[in-house]
Amino acid sequence: MKVMKFGGTSVGSVESILNLKRIVEAEPKPVIVVVSALGGITDRLLATSRLALAGDESWRQEFNAIKQRHFDMVDALFAPGPQRQQLVATITPFFTELESIYYGVFLIHDLSPKTEAAIVSYGERLSSHIVAMLIGGGVRKNSRDFIRTVKKQGKDMLDAELTYKLVRDAFATLGSQQIAVVPGFIARDRDSLETTNLGRGGSDYTAAIIAAALDADVLEIWTDVDGFMTADPRVIKTAYTINELSYVEAMELCNFGAKVVYPPTIYPVCVKNIPIKVKNTFNPQHPGTLIKQKIENDHRMIKGISSIKGTTLITVTGLSMVGVIGVNRRIFSTLAENGISVFMVSQASSENSTSIGVRDEDANRAVEVLNMEFSKEIVTGAMFPMHAESGLATIAIVGENMKHTPGIAGKLFGTLGRSGISVIACAQGASETNISFVVDARLLRKSLNVLHDSFFLSEYKVLNLFICGIGTVGGNLIEQINSQYKQLKETRQLKLKVVGIASSKKAIFNRDGIDLRTYKELMANAEPSNVQRLKEEIISMNIFNSVFVDCTASADVAAIYQDFLDHNISVVTANKIAASGPYDAYHKLKKTALQRGIKFLFETNVGAGLPIIGTINDLLNSGDKILRIEAVLSGTLNFIFNTISAEVPFSETVRLAKEKGYAEPDPRIDLCGKDVIRKLVILTREAGYKVEQDDVEKHLFMPDSFFEGSLDDFWKNLPQLDADFEARRKVLESEHKRWRFVAKMEKQDDDMGFKTTVSLETVDQHHPFYGLEGSNNIVLLTTERYKEYPMLIQGYGAGASVTAAGVFANIMSIANI
Ligand code: ADP
Ligand code: ASP
Ligand code: MG
C-alpha cells in the first residue's frame, strides 16, 4: 500500500487538484492520501490572527478572502448538485467557528499558542474535506483522532507509540477499494486532547508516520518540483533533480534547509526501510527522486547543497575550558533543557573555544541561558561572557561518497576562497557525509552558486562579464562574444555571460545575461550611470566567477580596479593607465590578484593582440632573465614614418593615422612619445624591473611647444613641421635608411641596473626593424637563453578588432580551458 502526500501547491489551484485526482484514482487501492492546506492558506491564517491580535479591523477582510478562496474552489470543482451542497454544508460551520475565534482574539487581544493551533488547523481540515469529496471512493479520516503529541520543553512532540497504535486501529477498517483522505499537519495533545500540530511543513511528517505505522510499501511526497534537487531551485537556476538519495543524505539536506521534505519525515520511514519518492504533481511522468537505504550506482561525491539563513553563531570561550571535562556537556544540556536546537558545532583542538550554530530566533535565549549556566566562571574571569554573531548563514554540502575521499574539503574551501568568501566556522563530522560551514548571509547566494557550479556543473563553466566601454574595441568585443557564444558553449563547455555593459554615461545589468543582439537599444534606454555607481553596482551584485573588462582609456575607470580585485572580480583591460601608472599601485593590483587566485590581465596594452606580455611572463616563469627589449611599439608612429613621402607630408600622415583609427583619440599622446613610454614601462615592469614613466629617457622628434596648446592649435600648427621633415627625409632616402621610433630597455652590468629610452632612430636595410610595414609592431627580446639570436614577435599592433581579439584571449585564459 502507498501513502501519498500532496503539499500546498498540489492543492493550491483547480488545475493542481484535478491533477491530484487523476494521479490518485489511477493507483491500485487501497491508498492513503495526506493533504496540506490549500497553498498559502496556513500563512494567511496566521497573518490574519496577528491582525486580530493587534486590534486591526482588517482581519475581517482577510478572513473573508480566505473563506471566498475556499468557496471559489468548491464552485470550480463541483457542478451544482448534491455533492456541492453536501460539501458546502460541511465547510460552512468551519468558517462560522473560525470567525468567532478570530473575533475573540480581536476582542481580548490575546493569542495563546493553543488558540493559534486551533486557528491554523482549519487549513487542513477544509482542504481534506474538499479533496475527499472530489476523489471517487474517497473517505475522509480525521488525523486528530490518531496523531497524538506530547508537550516537551514547551514543544509539541509526537507520541510515537500511542500514535502508531491509534493509526493501526483507525485504518484497520480501510476497505481494499478505498482511498482514505487525511488532513496532514494537525494533531491532538495526548493529555488535554486540544488541537496541536507537527510544525510548519508537518504534513510530510503525518504521511511518514502513517506509512511507518502501517508498514506501507512506499511514501510518496508530491510537490511542485521534479523531485529532490541538487540545490534550492529558487536560488540556483541550474539545480537539477537527483535520481537517488540515501536516507542519510536526504536527512542531512533537509536538516540544512532543503524545504522540499520536512526534516522529521525521514526517520520513521528510514527505521522501517520504506522508500520515499519525491514527485511532481504538475509533471507526473518525471521519475522524481527515490530515497532509500543504500545507493549503489551513483559515484558522485556530492549529492546536494542546502542552506539555512538566519544563523547566529554563539562562541563560548575561556581559558578554563582547556582540557576541562564537562564544559561541552553543560553547554549542550543547558541548550537542550531550554528547547534550543543546535545544528552545528565547531571546536578547535586547543579546546578553548566552542562555536555553536543556532537559529536567529533562539539566539537571545541561548546567550541568556549559557551566561546563566557559566555565571560563576564568568565572574571569576575563567570564562568570557557568550559572544553572539548574527547575520550569518549556514551551508552544507552533502554526500555519502565523500567518506574516505580526500580533497573534497580542499576543493570546497579553495572554491570559496577564490571567490573571496571567507568561512567563519566549519564542521565536518567523522561520518563524513556532510561538511557544513558558516558565512556572512550576504554571501549566501554567491556561495551557493560557486559551489553548485564547481561541484555539479562540470558540464559548463560560466564566466560572468562586465564590459565597460562600448567604443570601437568594446563594441567589437561584444560582437565577437556574441558570435562565439554558441560555439564556446558546445565545444568548450563554456558559457560567456555578459551580465553588465557600461558606457561613460549609462549602464545595464542583468544577472541572467544581457541579450547581446539588442544591447544597443537596451543601452539607449538605460539609466544614467557613472564610474562610482558602476563600481557599487558590480560589487553589490556579487556574482561568482566574474570579470571586469575595461575597453576604455579612462583614468577614472582604471582607478576602480583595486576595488574589484579586492572583491575577487578579475580584471581584463585594454586600458594602459593602471599598468603604466605609479609602480606601487600597479604592484598592488598584481599582488592582490595573485593572493586571491584571480587575474589582472592587460596583454593588449602592448602590441594589441600580439602575445608580448604573455611571452615575457612565460620566459620569466620558466627561469629566464630579460636582458634587453628593443621594440617599435607605436602603430601610429610606424604608420607615420612608413607613409611619409615626397607626396604625403608629415602633417598629412598624422591626419591619416587618426582617420584610420591607429592613433589615440588625441594623437599628441602618440607623437609626444607618451603612449610608447607607457608601453615600455609596462614591458619593463613585466620583465621584472621597477620603473616609472619619468625614468624613461626621451629623444623626441617634435618641439615641446606643439604639445602645449589646444588640440585645434595643434592641428593648425602641425604643417609648420612639414618642410623640415621633408628635408631630413630626402637625406635619409639617399642613405637607404628609414625612421623608426624605438623603445629600449637595457639591463646594465650591475645586478638591478637598467636603462630605458625612447627615441627616433634611423635604421639601415640590415636592421630587423627596417622592413616593418604599415602600423605593425615588432619586439626583440634578448634574454639569457635567447642571447645570440633574440626572440622576435611581430605583427599588427593596432586596430580595434585585433585589440578586441586580444581582450577576448585574456578572458578565455581566465576560463582556464
Ligand atoms: P509543498 O507545499 O509541496 O510541501 P514546499 O514548498 O514545502 O512544498 O517544498 C517544495 C519547495 O521546496 C520547492 O518548490 C522548492 O522551491 C523548495 N526547495 C528547496 N530546496 C529544494 C531542493 N533541494 N529540492 C527541491 N526543492 C527544494
Ligand atoms: N500547511 C502546513 C504548512 O504550511 C503544513 C504543510 O503544508 O506541510 O506548514
Ligand atoms: Mg512542504
pLDDT in tens, 585-620: 999 999 999 988 889 999 999 998 899 999 999 999
Indicate whether residue 259 lines ligand 1 (CB < 6 A).
Answer: yes
Find the mean pLDDT for residues 708-733.
93
CB-CB contact of 93 with 114 (8 Å): no
Q: How far is the CA of 6 from the centre of ligand 2 (A)?
A: 10
Grid coordinates representing 234 are 529558487
**Residue spans of alpha helices (H) in 493-541:** 519-524, 531-541
pLDDT at residue 755, rounded to an integer: 95
Indicate whether residue 289 lines ligand 1 (CB < 6 A).
Answer: no
Pick the ligand that lies closest to the CA of residue 225: 1
Indicate whether residue 201 lines ligand 1 (CB < 6 A).
Answer: yes
Residue of 573 and 401 predicted with greater confidence: 573
Indicate whether residue 234 lines ligand 1 (CB < 6 A).
Answer: yes
Find the mean pLDDT for residues 440-449.
93
- Beta-strand pair 791-796/776-783: antiparallel
DSSP percent split of the chain into helix, strand, coil, nearest 5:
45, 25, 30
pLDDT at residue 348, rounded to an integer: 72
Atom of ligand 1 nearest to the CA of 232: 20
CB-CB contact of 186 with 42 (8 Å): no
- Overall residue count recorded for the chain in this entry: 817
pLDDT at residue 575, rounded to an integer: 96
- Beta-strand pair 218-223/276-280: parallel
Place of cell 577564490: 418
- Beta-strand pair 570-573/546-550: parallel
pLDDT at residue 344, rounded to an integer: 87
Pick the ligand that lies closest to the CA of residue 240: 1
Q: CA–CA separation, 758 vs 694, rounded Å?
A: 12
Q: How far is the CA of 751 from the centre of ligand 2 (A)?
A: 75
Q: What is the pLDDT of residues 52-66, one digit of tens each?
A: 999 999 999 999 999
Atom of ligand 1 nearest to the CA of 253: 23
pLDDT at residue 483, rounded to an integer: 94
Percentage of the chain beyond pLDDT 90 is 77
Pick the ligand that lies closest to the CA of residue 184: 2
Q: What is the pLDDT of residues 739-778, one digit of tens each?
A: 999 999 999 876 678 999 999 999 999 999 999 988 899 9
Q: CA–CA separation, 319 vs 297, rounded Å?
A: 49
Indicate whether residue 203 lines ligand 2 (CB < 6 A).
Answer: yes
Alpha-carbon distances of 215 from 1, 4, 109, rounded to whole Å: 8, 14, 46
Indicate whether residue 228 lines ligand 1 (CB < 6 A).
Answer: yes
pLDDT at residue 321, rounded to an integer: 67
Atom of ligand 1 nearest to the CA of 229: 24
pLDDT at residue 191, rounded to an integer: 96
Q: How far is the CA of 439 from the centre of ligand 3 (A)?
A: 26
Residues ≥6 apart with Cβ < 8 Å to 171? 32, 141, 180, 210, 214
Indicate whether residue 233 lines ligand 1 (CB < 6 A).
Answer: yes
Q: How far is the CA of 202 from the centre of ligand 3 (A)?
A: 7
CB-CB contact of 299 with 401 (8 Å): yes
- Kindly indicate the confidence band of residue 323, based on its pLDDT and cuts at 50, 70 and 90: low
Q: How far is the CA of 270 from the centre of ligand 3 (A)?
A: 19
Q: How far is the CA of 176 from the centre of ligand 2 (A)?
A: 29
Q: 127, 232, 259: which to mutate for ligand 1, most atoms within 8 A of CB? A: 259
Indicate whether residue 222 lines ligand 1 (CB < 6 A).
Answer: no
Find the mean pLDDT for residues 522-547.
92
Residues ≥6 apart with Cβ < 8 Å to 800? 472, 473, 475, 476, 661
Percentage of the chain beyond pLDDT 70 is 97
The rounded Cα 735 to chain-centroid distance in angstroms is 65
Residue 72 has pLDDT above 90, yes or no: yes
Grid coordinates representing 658 are 587618426
Q: What is the pLDDT of residues 540-575, one digit of tens each?
A: 988 888 999 999 999 999 999 999 999 989 999 999
Pick the ligand that lies closest to the CA of residue 224: 1
Indicate whether residue 736 lines ligand 1 (CB < 6 A).
Answer: no
Residues marked as catalytic:
679
Name which residue sits closest to atom 5 of ligand 2, judged by CA.
201
Q: CA–CA separation, 669 vs 654, rounded Å?
A: 12
Indicate whether residue 291 lines ligand 1 (CB < 6 A).
Answer: no
Indicate whether residue 299 lines ligand 1 (CB < 6 A).
Answer: no
Q: What is the pLDDT of residues 244-267, one digit of tens each?
A: 999 999 999 998 889 999 999 999
pLDDT at residue 418, rounded to an integer: 83
Whether pTM exceeds 0.75? no
pLDDT at residue 493, rounded to an integer: 79
Q: 36, 126, 182, 265: which to mutate for ligand 2, most atoms within 8 A of CB? A: 36
Q: 33, 35, 38, 42: which to mutate for ligand 2, most atoms within 8 A of CB? A: 42
- Kindly indicate the confidence band of residue 459, based on its pLDDT and cuts at 50, 70 and 90: low
Count of CB atoms situated within 10 Å of the CB of 247: 22
Indicate whether residue 35 lines ligand 1 (CB < 6 A).
Answer: no
Atom of ligand 1 nearest to the CA of 278: 25
Indicate whether residue 264 lines ligand 2 (CB < 6 A).
Answer: no
Pick the ligand that lies closest to the CA of residue 242: 1
Place of cell 477544509: 126
Return mean pLDDT, the chain.
Answer: 92
- Apex CA 237: angle with CA 232 and CA 238, to 5°? 95
- Kindly indicate the confidence band of residue 656, based on its pLDDT and cuts at 50, 70 and 90: very high
Residue 686 has pLDDT above 90, yes or no: yes
Residues ≥6 apart with Cβ < 8 Å to 332? 342
Q: Is 304 helix (H, G, I), strand (E, B) or coil?
A: strand
Q: CA–CA separation, 385 vs 377, rounded Å?
A: 9
Atom of ligand 2 nearest to the CA of 200: 9
Q: How far is the CA of 259 from the centre of ligand 3 (A)?
A: 6
pLDDT at residue 792, rounded to an integer: 95
Environment class of residue 108 by beta-carbon count within 10 Å: exposed (0-12), middle (13-18) or buried (19+)? Answer: exposed
Find the mean pLDDT for residues 197-208.
97
Grid coordinates representing 322 are 582547556
Rounded to the nearest 10 degrees, the angle between the axes of helix 203-213 and helix 160-171 is: 70
Q: How far is the CA of 124 from the centre of ligand 2 (A)?
A: 8
Q: How many CA atoms lie within 13 A of 727 on its CB side?
A: 4
Residue 213 has pLDDT above 60, yes or no: yes
Q: How far is the CA of 37 from the centre of ligand 2 (A)?
A: 6
Count of CB atoms situated within 10 Å of the CB of 96: 8
pLDDT at residue 595, rounded to an integer: 85
Residue 172 has pLDDT above 90, yes or no: yes
- 767 DSSP 8-state letter: S
- Kindly indicate the confidence band of residue 202, based on its pLDDT and cuts at 50, 70 and 90: very high
Residues ≥6 apart with Cβ < 8 Å to 625? 688, 747, 783, 784
